[in-house]
Amino acid sequence: MLYRIAAAVNATYGLAVAWTYIAAFVLALGMIFIFPPGTLLVFFIGLASLGLAVALGKVIDAITRSMARRSMASGRCPRCRDVLALISHGDESPAICALCGSAFTSDGGETIASEQPHFVNQPEDDDRNDESDVVADAHLAGR
Ligand SMILES: [Zn+2]
């Protein structure tokens, strides 16, 4: 539960920061004609807080990953607490949860399961090359 909150915050943080800066830009633009020193103030606050915003994002990411690693070490899926197959350190293939489909790398990062080789290396049944199925299907369809 706690991991899901952390992961959601981690996932939306970058966009939230981006929108905050866009809002600050609009505010600064609007103040040019009304209160010019305000524009400078918003500009310098934005510039000074940029490093802090990036650092905070890295901290949130590190916390989320450490929570995922701790959960995976106890053999549980960080997202749904179902039993998760263990992965060895340095292993390239991620652990994929059978229940919720979440995929995790060994460093605790969440990844996308559809990009994994398991789904790419399907048996090649395209090589059969029998057109009789196509003809039969066309016949059934009335063409
Ligand atoms: Zn799961």
User: Would you say residue 143 lies in a domain?
Assistant: no
Taking phi over 0 as left and psi of -120 to 50 as alpha, with beta for the rest, 10 belongs to alpha
Strands 103-104 and 110-111: antiparallel
- The answer to whether 26 and 42 have CB atoms below 8 angstroms apart is no
Structural domain that includes position 95: 2-122
Closest CA to 14 of 64, 68, 67, 61: 61
**How many whole angstroms from 122 Cα to the centroid of ligand 1?**
23
**How many whole angstroms from 79 Cα to the centroid of ligand 1?**
5
Which pLDDT score, from 0 to 100, does residue 83 have?
87
User: Would you say residue 8 lies in a domain?
Assistant: yes
Which pLDDT score, from 0 to 100, does residue 55 have?
96
Distances (CA, A) of 9 to 27, 91, 129: 25, 27, 49
Which residue's entry shows tokens 């209160």?
35
Q: pTM of the full predicted structure?
A: 0.68
User: Would you say residue 112 lies in a domain?
Assistant: yes
**How many whole angstroms from 127 Cα to the centroid of ligand 1?**
35
What is the Cα–Cα distance from 71 to 1, expressed in whole angstroms? 11
Number of domains in the chain: 1
**How many whole angstroms from 54 Cα to the centroid of ligand 1?**
29
**How many whole angstroms from 76 Cα to the centroid of ligand 1?**
8
Q: What is the residue-level pLDDT of the chain in tens, covering all 143 positions?
A: 789 999 999 999 999 999 999 999 999 999 999 999 999 999 999 999 999 999 999 999 999 999 999 998 888 999 998 888 766 555 677 888 888 888 888 888 988 765 545 555 555 555 555 556 666 566 666 66
**How many whole angstroms from 13 Cα to the centroid of ligand 1?**
23
User: Would you say residue 131 lies in a domain?
Assistant: no
User: Would you say residue 51 lies in a domain?
Assistant: yes
